[in-house]
Amino acid sequence: MAENPAALLRRASPGARARAVAWAVRAALPAFERGDFYGVYIDSVVGMEHSVDRGLPRRVVEAIESARGVPPPAVVEPLFTEICEPVVALQDDDWALPEDAELTLYAAYNLLWMCRGPDAEERARTALNQAISAALGLGYGGGDPERVSAFLQRWRVATGVG
């Protein structure tokens, strides 16, 4: 039996961990980019209208790929600031997304958070799980052990972490 992804991520260097999670988030991008949702919401605190760039999760993945691992803070921090606003809007119920699109956005958010350092291993596992669920269209709490296993096999081969 193959080693579980959490153990593989724990042993990986920060750069390898970031690349491995970015690979999974890339697989989930269609759920966000082509998702059936309105990309504008009204912030309930100040009443401002915000537009969300459907390319935001892709830019997060591309930053990791471009840096071949953890990008410098000058790259991570502006992306993190940008992604925090729609994440807060989801948490405040100011914006609603289909589950797979929401999971993709959260996976990109956790990938960036992981690059900032705190709780990197835990964030990596969370982002990986979110990305898998979004990429496979499983939503929250969904499961299809055979499809997840096949995805993780592709992930291990593609990223070299396992």
The torsion angles phi and psi of 51, rounded to 5 degrees, stand at: -105, 140
Which residue has tokens 């840096």? 67
Q: Helix 120-135 and helix 14-33: axis angle, to 10°?
A: 30
Flag whether pLDDT at 47 surpasses 80: yes
At 48-95, the pLDDT tens digits run 999 999 999 999 999 999 999 999 999 999 999 999 999 999 999 999
Give the pLDDT mean for 23-50: 93
Task: Tell which wins on pLDDT, 162 or 33.
Answer: 33
CA distances for 54 relative to 12, 14, 37, 97, 161, angstroms = 30, 27, 10, 12, 29
Domain count along the chain: 1
Residue 141 structural domain: 5-159
In 3D space, the residue among 89, 82, 98 whose CA is nearest the CA of residue 44 turns out to be: 89
At 109-125, the pLDDT tens digits run 999 999 998 778 999 99
Give the pLDDT mean for 100-112: 97
Which amino acid is residue 88, in one-letter code? V
The torsion angles phi and psi of 138, rounded to 5 degrees, stand at: -90, -15
Give the pLDDT mean for 94-118: 95
